[in-house]
Chains A and B, each alone.
Chain A
Amino acid sequence: MVRVTGNFQSESPIHPKALALLESAFEAGWADPKKLGQASAKAALLRNEAIESIASHLKIHPSQIETFGDPALGHHLSLTALMQERSQLVHSAIDRSEIFAIAQSARTTVLPVNHDGNILGTHSPSPHSVLALQIANGETGVIQKCDEIIEDVQPELIALDATVSGFQVELPRRWNTALFSSASWEGPAGVGILAIADRSVWRNPLPHISAARTGLSAYLPLLLASALALEERVSMAREEELRRRQLTTAIRSELSKIADCDIAGNLATSLPHITSASFMYCNGEEIIRSLAMDGFSVDSGSACTSENLEPSHVLAAMQVLTHGNVRITVHSGTTHDEVMGLLRSLSSTVIRMRA
């Protein structure tokens, strides 16, 4: 009998076609596109083609795009770049820790969320407010009604975080910066993409001398692989969305049969590949270790699995059980057998731990 195993952690392998491209990309794209010379000219051509392709799939203009090597740096390039001393930062209680870190040095308003993870806007606009708005949450998959939140908050400027939603959710009507991560469409993890709608309100927050907008760039071979991965994912978007939603529906249905299981958010208003579920009276770390023994990898937002022993602020803000939590991510290669194998292992683990 073949043992079924599977990866359900948030990180996914790079798209197979992007992986196949990488070797030739390293051969063709090693030169600095900004320099003179034949190899550099060729690299510049490849770079421009990649950016045009990415821009068209993300429905933004190529001239708005900046690329860089570390998506985590992107939160400064996206949000800090819009802020001034007088700015009031508005962000949600379920935003990324990077946003909370930026908020430590600003006047801040934190928007609460309801039990479904929907951000509750406020009708008290500040004349110099900058709204940091995560389009979809990475822990729960919950997609925000961005246009409504922007209408409620009436911010002066808006920094969108599309690092989880990627191309899957359209940008709202109004925005000033939008941050993407190549990993969200199975491209290489080390590629960040920033769209700047209007340069007049964007100020480079990093030390700089050059007049270039950021002076940063993603490593060209990785950018080429990212562009191809995006192209492939977009071409299969409808089928893949349906497939993932069916698998996640099965996951949620089976989990709801386990007693005292608290599932975060509604699938109808969430990305189709993420499920966060907590099991009362169970230890998150022990669940993860038990699943790993059976060959299944999952994430957890429980305190016992975090470095600082703090529970997930996202689950706490939604008033979802934070202990005994597992986060299941369905990927392009995830099969029905893998999902069923994971659910069997998870169910028996929970029963054993509660005995």
Chain B
Amino acid sequence: MKEIDARGLLCPLPIINLGKAMSQCESGDELLLHSDDPATQSDLNAWSRMTGNTVNPITATSFLIVKK
């Protein structure tokens, strides 16, 4: 599984890096995002709604993303 370590990066870089990585994924692919930026969790909810990709929080700073 592909992983993105965005810890230490501030908004909007974690989501920008996620978007770039997702553009190289196929439908059903899983990706693990690590981010400790306080804006990431709420932004992932909106990003999921807008893109249709699924976001499953694993911990407060790790998120499993599934491409639609």
On whether the beta carbons of A323 and B15 are closer than 8 Å, the reply is: yes
A308's closest neighbor in chain B, by CB?
Answer: B38
A309's closest neighbor in chain B, by CB?
Answer: B10
Stretch at the interface among B25-33, B43-51, B57-65: B43-51
Flag A277-317 by CB within 8 Å of B: 1 or 0 each: 01011111000000000000000001110000111000110
On whether the beta carbons of A311 and B45 are closer than 8 Å, the reply is: no
In this complex, the member of B19, B38, B45, B46 whose beta carbon has the largest number of chain A beta carbons within 10 angstroms is B46
Contacts of A322 in B (CB 8 A): 11, 39, 42-43, 46
B48's closest neighbor in chain A, by CB?
Answer: A319
On whether the beta carbons of B50 and A323 are closer than 8 Å, the reply is: no
B16 within 8 A of A: yes
- In the complex the two chains form, what is the Cα distance from A323 to B40 in whole Å? 9
The residue that A323 contacts in the complex, of B11, B45, B49, with Cβ under 8 A, is: B11
The answer to whether A281 and B19 touch (CB under 8 A), given A321-B43, A322-B43, is: yes
Whole-angstrom distance from the CB of A233 to the nearest CB of chain B?
35
A317's closest neighbor in chain B, by CB?
Answer: B42
Contacts of A302 in B (CB 8 A): 11-12, 39
Contacts of B45 in A (CB 8 A): 319
A262 within 8 A of B: yes
- In the complex the two chains form, what is the Cα distance from A185 to B46 in whole Å? 34
On whether the beta carbons of B19 and A319 are closer than 8 Å, the reply is: no
A320 within 8 A of B: yes
Whole-angstrom distance from the CB of A100 to the nearest CB of chain B?
15
Contacts of A284 in B (CB 8 A): 12
A187 within 8 A of B: no
Number of B interface residues at 8 Å Cβ cutoff, please give it.
Answer: 16
A279's closest neighbor in chain B, by CB?
Answer: B12
Contacts of B46 in A (CB 8 A): 262, 278, 319-322
On whether the beta carbons of A310 and B12 are closer than 8 Å, the reply is: no
Contacts of A260 in B (CB 8 A): 50
On whether the beta carbons of A311 and B42 are closer than 8 Å, the reply is: yes
On whether the beta carbons of A324 and B12 are closer than 8 Å, the reply is: yes
Whole-angstrom distance from the CB of A172 to the nearest CB of chain B?
30
On whether the beta carbons of B50 and A280 are closer than 8 Å, the reply is: yes
Contacts of A309 in B (CB 8 A): 10, 38
On whether the beta carbons of B11 and A321 are closer than 8 Å, the reply is: no
In this complex, the member of B11, B12, B16, B39 whose beta carbon has the largest number of chain A beta carbons within 10 angstroms is B12
On whether the beta carbons of A319 and B11 are closer than 8 Å, the reply is: no
- In the complex the two chains form, what is the Cα distance from A321 to B50 in whole Å? 9
- In the complex the two chains form, what is the Cα distance from A283 to B13 in whole Å? 8
Whole-angstrom distance from the CB of A244 to the nearest CB of chain B?
27
Contacts of B50 in A (CB 8 A): 260, 262, 280, 321
The residue that A311 contacts in the complex, of B19, B39, B49, with Cβ under 8 A, is: B39
Contacts of A316 in B (CB 8 A): 39, 42
Contacts of B37 in A (CB 8 A): 303
- In the complex the two chains form, what is the Cα distance from A322 to B44 in whole Å? 10
A320's closest neighbor in chain B, by CB?
Answer: B46
B18's closest neighbor in chain A, by CB?
Answer: A281
- In the complex the two chains form, what is the Cα distance from A110 to B37 in whole Å? 24
15 residue pairs from A and B, CB less than 8 Å apart: A280-B47, A281-B16, A302-B11, A302-B12, A303-B37, A304-B11, A309-B10, A310-B38, A311-B11, A319-B45, A321-B46, A321-B50, A322-B42, A323-B15, A324-B12
A interface residue numbers (CB < 8 A to B): 260, 262, 278, 280-284, 302-304, 309-311, 315-316, 319-324
Of all A-B residue pairs in the complex, the 5 with the closest CB atoms, nearest first, are A323-B12, A316-B42, A311-B39, A321-B46, A303-B39
With A304-B12, A309-B10 known, 17 other A-B pairs at CB within 8 A are: A278-B46, A280-B15, A280-B19, A280-B50, A281-B16, A283-B12, A303-B10, A309-B38, A315-B42, A319-B42, A319-B46, A320-B46, A321-B50, A322-B11, A322-B43, A323-B15, A324-B12
